[in-house]
Structure 1
Amino acid sequence: MAGTRRTRMSPDERRQQLVALGVAALADRPLEAVTVEDLAAQAGVSPGLVHYYFGSRQGLHSAIVRTARDAMLHATAPRPELPPRERLRDTLARFVEFVRDHDATFYSLVRGAASGDEEVRATVQHARDVLAGHLRDAFEEIGVARTPLLEVALHAWISFAEHALVEAAADPAVAPDELTDFLERSAIGVLDALRPRPRP
């Protein structure tokens, strides 16, 4: 009996397959537990071929995190046709939906900020900068001036929102709409905190 013929992939297709397998693996294990050997076995290739495509385990992890980051940013990209307040809420609602659907992947991204791999940390920080930029754009459209303190507040809020999303993703008692409302109110609360208070 003839053996099963393996589908031949181009280098780009094979690389994409390996990265996709790595992203899928984040559903049940942290990034540091994703190994070259496991992905090679799943793809039916040698570990040496994985090293050829990515250079090292760190290179593989960086490619996985970049792909997961890009998927998150694509899924939560603001809709420019919406007014700023409505756009903010829509973006937050889709962020909540993404985390509910891909909670382990999101958690791996958040954990990546503390990674010992500088490239992984830079990839996660880029995502945070993009998200802070979306919020900044909406605020500027409603008349908030760009200041150094605004930048501090935006990045602080991103860290706050990440923690809230991780906590809520594991708690089915928190409804998506309820979480979206909470995040929206907290984001608007940043504006209130930026307004100077009259001194007595």
Structure 2
Amino acid sequence: MAAALELFGTHDAEDVSIDDVAAAAGASRALVYHYFGGKQELYVAALRSAAQELTERLRPVGGGTALAEVAAGLARYFDFVEDHAAGFAALLRGGPANRAGEVGEIVEGVRRLMFKMIINQLRAGEPGPALRITLRSWIASVETAGLDWLENRDIGRPLLERMLIGQLVALLEVAAGQDGQVREVLDEIGRGEVA
């Protein structure tokens, strides 16, 4: 599984063969086929493994202010990015063809979980359209920042995480000018909290 994640994380899935995975894992081609059936099944299993690990890391700890909880979740997200670079890259990279079916469901499942946890951490209740769009946009920014950071590593993680929390607040400020629910969320997190 680790060999598959490494290969899928650094190459397009179409360019990785079962033979490549078997060689990287020090296993026979027949053994890989025995356990996974084929490349698509192996790819899906590898992505599920990465998604499960990320999901476990994102479980909220609780006990802090709303913004502090979001920041702590972001730190755990980047712990995963750093510890499992190939799994993270494999989970998020790939062309549109890789976003259909099971693969798309895996990626969207992680995004839905992140969205739900952020809503809970912000104590926002049922999100209206403005809050939903704002948070989904921020999640996309976090994913993109993670991939860029892995590729370049030219900014420290603490600074990147502070920037992303600042971006969240800025996005909420813009949306708050248009929507009362977002204004309430922003007012709530602004009470005595420092990003």
TM-score interval for Structure 1 and Structure 2 normalised by the shorter chain:
0.7 to 0.9
- Three-state SS of the structure 2 residue aligned to 1:180 is helix
**Corresponding residue number in structure 2 for 1:75:** 57
- Three-state SS of the structure 2 residue aligned to 1:170 is helix
1:87–1:152 Cα change, 3 Å: same
How far apart in 1 are the matches of 2:125 and 2:171?
Answer: 11
How far apart in 2 are the matches of 1:176 and 1:77?
Answer: 20
How far apart in 1 are the matches of 2:67 and 2:61?
Answer: 11
Report the alpha carbon displacement of residue 188 of structure 1 after superposing the two structures with TM: 1.9
How far apart in 2 are the matches of 1:75 and 1:148?
Answer: 28
Report the alpha carbon displacement of residue 133 of structure 1 after superposing the two structures with TM: 1.2
- Over 6 Å off, 4+ runs: none
Q: Tell me which of the two structures has the higher relative contact order, counting C-alpha pairs closer than 8 angstroms and 6 or more residues apart.
A: 2
- Three-state SS of the structure 1 residue aligned to 2:96 is coil
Contact preservation (8 Å) 1:68, 1:105: yes
1:170 to 2:143 alignment: no
**Corresponding residue number in structure 2 for 1:148:** 129
How far apart in 2 are the matches of 1:180 and 1:44?
Answer: 39
Aligned AA for 1:128? R
Contact preservation (8 Å) 2:47, 2:87: no
Report the alpha carbon displacement of residue 161 of structure 1 after superposing the two structures with TM: 1.5
Q: 1:7-61 CA deviation, whole Å, 9 max, x = no partner?
A: xxxxxxxxxxxx23322434644444432223334343343x4334323211111
Larger deviation, residues 112-121 vs 176-185:
112-121
Given candidates 42, 67, 76, the residue that maps to 1:60 is 42
Contact preservation (8 Å) 1:114, 1:121: no
Structure of greater Rg:
1
**Corresponding residue number in structure 1 for 2:117:** 134
**Corresponding residue number in structure 1 for 2:5:** 23
1:197–1:120 Cα change, 3 Å: closer
How far apart in 1 are the matches of 2:14 and 2:63?
Answer: 40
**Corresponding residue number in structure 2 for 1:88:** 70
Contact preservation (8 Å) 1:113, 1:125: no
Given candidates 36, 39, 54, the residue that maps to 2:18 is 36
Gap regions ≥5 residues in structure 2: 180-195
Per the normalisation by structure 1, the TM-score is: 0.75
Given candidates 113, 117, 121, the residue that maps to 2:104 is 121
How far apart in 1 are the matches of 2:118 and 2:126?
Answer: 13
Per the normalisation by structure 2, the TM-score is: 0.76
1:115–1:70 Cα change, 3 Å: farther
Report the alpha carbon displacement of residue 181 of structure 1 after superposing the two structures with TM: 0.5
Larger deviation, residues 73-82 vs 53-62:
73-82
How far apart in 2 are the matches of 1:32 and 1:65?
Answer: 15
Aligned AA for 1:159? A
Q: How many residues in Structure 1 have an aligned counterpart in Structure 2? A: 177
* Alignment RMSD (CA, Å): 2.5
